[in-house]
Amino acid sequence: MIPDLMDQMRRAFAIAKKDVRIYYLNGPVVIFGILAPAFLFLAFMIGRDLPVDFLIAGLLGMTVFFTSTSITPVIAPTETQTRNLERLAAAPVSITTILFGDMIASVFFGIAISLVPIFLGVAFGVAIAHPLILAVGIVLAAFCFSALGLVFSSTPTSMTSTVMMISMLTKFPLVFVSGVFIPIQEMPSWGRALASLSPLTYITDLCRYCIEGTCANYYPVPLDICALAVFLVIFMVTAVKLHERSLPMRL
């Protein structure tokens, strides 16, 4: 059992290495993973007198969200088009292993780019009050959002534009209801109810706690972490089931 698990893990990391090499600087990844959150952030902050720590916390949550969901949606349709998926399907690897490999590449990208707003905040004098909790939250959120990207990529198509359209139609509304631009405390009751259904809410809340201080977060820290873990399990199980159903349509 353990040797077989280790063998599948090695194959997953080999898939992740391939994904990083091929998709790391892919057009949709750069546009929707890096440029989109940057322009959203600039549009929000220009002309508004807001504390730097508030801005950095929101930017960090949004960056993890966009970057971690930028690679996994494009992998399956691209490999369907190039027929690499046929070779993977013929190899002795399970769908779960393939998806986990895709997820690792996306997590790596999400964590790496999330360092940019952190360094930017430090350069502007923002102190990280709870670095260990922040690190745990970013890693967990990167896995969670990468799994969400796998759900998007389950659409049986070879067109990355179709998948990215579905992805953006989901991600943009989540940004505006997740406390990135408006603190959850200041939302109406219906807004807080919607925010509780978004995984982005919990990493943003955790970033506020770690950067702005203990009075800035809306939910308790354990609840933020548990919510991200629950969303991760839900997204991953859903992704595996959907990909098992759509794989025969791709081959």
Q: What is the pLDDT of residues 105-135, one digit of tens each?
A: 889 888 988 888 888 888 888 888 899 999 9
d(C-alpha 66, C-alpha 62), whole Å: 6
Predicted confidence at residue 53, as pLDDT, reads: 83
pLDDT, mean of residues 172-179: 86
pLDDT over 80 at 29, yes or no: no
Hey, what are 231's tokens? 């969303």
More confident residue, 250 or 137: 137
pLDDT, mean of residues 78-93: 73
Predicted confidence at residue 44, as pLDDT, reads: 67
pLDDT, mean of residues 195-223: 89
pLDDT over 90 at 187, yes or no: no
pLDDT, mean of residues 179-203: 89
d(C-alpha 42, C-alpha 199), whole Å: 23
Q: How far is CA 166 from CA 78, 151, 154, 173, in A?
A: 16, 10, 11, 12
pLDDT in tens, 37-85: 667 677 666 666 777 888 888 888 988 998 888 888 888 787 777 777 7
Q: Exposure of 80 by Cβ count < 10 A (0-12 exposed, 13-18 middle, 19+ buried)?
A: buried
pLDDT, mean of residues 82-105: 79
**Average pLDDT of the chain?**
83
d(C-alpha 242, C-alpha 223), whole Å: 28
pTM of the model: 0.88
Least confident of 33-47, 98-112, 175-189: 33-47
More confident residue, 121 or 160: 121
Residue with tokens 């548990």: 226
Predicted confidence at residue 50, as pLDDT, reads: 72
User: Are the C-beta atoms of 240 and 147 separated by less than 8 Å?
Assistant: no
Share of the chain above pLDDT 70, in %: 86
Contacts of 151 (CB under 8 A, 6+ apart): 235, 238, 239, 242
pLDDT, mean of residues 215-238: 92
Predicted confidence at residue 54, as pLDDT, reads: 83
d(C-alpha 84, C-alpha 67), whole Å: 24
pLDDT over 80 at 7, yes or no: no
Q: How far is CA 215 from CA 150, 179, 183, 218, in A?
A: 35, 15, 12, 8
User: Are the C-beta atoms of 137 and 207 separated by less than 8 Å?
Assistant: yes
d(C-alpha 251, C-alpha 242), whole Å: 15
Helices (H) and strands (E) in the chain, counts: 12, 0
> Residue 64's Cα: distance from chain center in Å?
6
Which band of pLDDT confidence, cut at 50, 70 and 90, is reported for residue 26? low
Predicted confidence at residue 25, as pLDDT, reads: 63
More confident residue, 196 or 180: 196
